[in-house]
Structure 1
Amino acid sequence: MNIISKNLNQKEYSFQYSTEKSNPQRIDNFLAKKLNIPRNQIQKSIELNKLKCNGSIIRKASFLLSSGDIIDFELYIEQKPDLSPEKINIEYIYKDKDILLINKPAGIIVHPGTKNPKHTLLNGILNDFPEIKYVGNPERPGIVHRLDKETSGILIVARNNISFDNLTNMFKSRDIHKEYICLVKGILNPVEGTIDSPISRHPKLKIKQAIVKNGKEALTKYKTIKNINDFSLLKIQIFTGRMHQIRVHLSSIGHPVLGDSLYGSKNKILIKRHFLHANKIIFAHPINNNLMKFQIDLPKDLKTILNKI
């Protein structure tokens, strides 16, 4: 086995598979045993096109090996999130010693991850409130829920562990009322309704979610605010917090969010992100139980789109 170290986070392996057994072996099982690594780590490399056999990219972990095959494998080790404080202009719409409420702009990730290890909203929050570094999950401290990168609107952040635990439980028990505004192509009929369809990772495209029979429960309510030409401005309420839930559900009924290239299609209207804004939230304060109610307007870019159509 030849090993070539590219850097501290990445290794390349190149070797020839040989066996006297008559039954073919799956490539993921072989690599997992040979390199003593979990199969899900091999799957991540496959998703990144980092596994080849005889020069061809392998796209399925179930690929069967034959004696004499040449395997080229690049193991990608996930980078740990960079929680270094960064100066970022953040609009705080409310703050006390227990919680923060932020008006998140479109175009910024909420917290660091594999593909975005830094320059996130959380890096800016930690610059302004360093104590949050020790709250909740150490990889995304203080974060009790998320908004997609291109979604704007209200985000709650916990400033201490009691608030973190209480808010987390409130989200799980659906005690937090969340509303969104979105624009979709077409006129919805009926003008209001409920979408109750389970969601899970797309069976083929890993960057997407999809309606899957045995997926996790997902419940979304919509109501038409008004129709503008051949578009519908909707009020959305979600009762579960699945990844891309609103976008998946609206796409499933034939009305994807305007500007959503992942679940819809390119549109003729100039919009740099999808038209989805978290405009309202109602919940009991996690410490003193006071009723907290916040509502914000659409940002300028989305107002401009409404004027264009």
Structure 2
Amino acid sequence: MHNYSLILPQYLNNTRLDKALHLLMVDISRNQIQKAIRDNRVTVNNQPVVDMSWKIKEHDVITINLRETIDKSPQPTAIELDLIYEDEDLMVINKPSGLTVHPGAGNHQDTLVNALLHYTTSLSNVGEPTRPGIVHRLDKDTSGLMVVAKNNFTHNQLAAQIVERSLVRKYKALVWGRLNPTTGVIHGNIARSRMDRIKMTIVKAGGKHATTYYHTENILLDGLISMVECKLDTGRTHQIRVHLSHIGHSLVGDQLYGHNQRKIAGCPQALHDELLNFKRQALHSWYIEFIHPRTDQCLSFQIALAADIQQLINHLNVSIQVSGKP
């Protein structure tokens, strides 16, 4: 048995009990949470609640008993951090590709959380204990900027900005093909695929609402590949990868969506090895903007493309010059 006690933050005031718990305990499935409610293993202010739709209020104390095995608390690991900014409340970090954000199945030591615990003892502990400081995530093979909370006040305020969609995140992506129109918006609810539980997919009913804005910045190899900037209105798992793949423009290097190797076959022969060896989605979080929770100052940060993506672009540009295309 595993008992957890949570205090409802202001941004989840008047939310359904099952939804609020799912948002606060993101590594626990909604089915697990709903089963605990049905089995009378959830209390609100020391009173048992078996109604999923019970609306809970700010500062309510929720306890939940989970029978399932939960990963042990993460331990510090000496992994170097690329710190872009830090103060007493938060950090902005440039996460490299290949680094998982938080511990999960099969990886309990070599994650960003382990690195954070080695760097500082000042991290928020809102929600799931395997995610101290983590307000939002990047996929393992996505590089770029993340903001980390060093206390619960900051965490709750930043999480509220994400819910209110005032925390701005912009990404650069190399995608297959030429988008038409070159600037637009992609809508499509996202849910886990029933055919492959590793993948997410667009669904007509259910799932979570997701919106991605995109703008084409550059067209390479006569439209074979494009550089696209994406801005998230929501932040669902694999959102940019799923949305762009859904409209026929999956990310270069993406091993999960979009038949990457098949598309490489249509590239100039000189680029085949370079593209085949690029084993991660060419996606980089280059810009983040938010209101500092304590000072109310608008902070924005931006960084250059990750070195491996920039190197791939350099090779693409060389190929364009050799072929004589503009």
1:256 corresponds to: 250
**Equivalent in 127, 132, 141 of residue 132 of structure 2:** 141
Q: 1:261 to 1:78 in 2, by over 3 A?
A: farther
How far does the alpha carbon of each residue in 1:74-105 deviate from its partner, in whole angstroms, 9 at most, with x for none?
xxx75514411111111100000000000000
Residue 139 of structure 1 and its aligned partner are, at CA, apart by 2.2
Residue 118 of structure 1 and its aligned partner are, at CA, apart by 2.2
Letter in 2 for 1:162: F
Which structure carries more helix by proportion?
2
1:272 aligns with 2:279: yes
1:219 corresponds to: 211
1:231 corresponds to: 225
Unaligned runs of 5+ in 2: 1-30, 33-67, 265-271, 317-326
Give the distance between the partners of 1:292 and 1:124, measured in 2 at CA.
24
- Output aligned runs, 1:75-154, within 5 Å: 78=69, 80-132=71-123, 134=125, 136-154=127-145
1:303 aligns with 2:323: no
How far does the alpha carbon of each residue in 1:101-155 deviate from its partner, in whole angstroms, 9 at most, with x for none?
0000000100111232221011011111113264554221110000000000001
Q: 1:291 to 1:133 in 2, by over 3 A?
A: closer
TM-score normalised according to structure 1 size: 0.73
How many residue pairs match? The answer is: 236
Unaligned runs of 5+ in 1: 1-39, 42-76
3-state SS in 2 of match to 1:167: helix
Residue 261 of structure 1 and its aligned partner are, at CA, apart by 1.4
How far does the alpha carbon of each residue in 1:29-69 deviate from its partner, in whole angstroms, 9 at most, with x for none?
xxxxxxxxxxx78xxxxxxxxxxxxxxxxxxxxxxxxxxxx
1:28 corresponds to: none
Letter in 2 for 1:194: V
1:164 corresponds to: 155
TM-score normalised according to structure 2 size: 0.70
Contact 1:199 1:245 in 2 (8 A): yes
**Equivalent in 224, 236, 244 of residue 242 of structure 1:** 236
| Percent identity over paired residues | 43
Give the distance between the partners of 1:103 and 1:81, measured in 2 at CA.
26
1:34 corresponds to: none
Larger radius of gyration: 1
Contact 2:76 2:118 in 1 (8 A): yes
Which structure carries more strand by proportion?
1
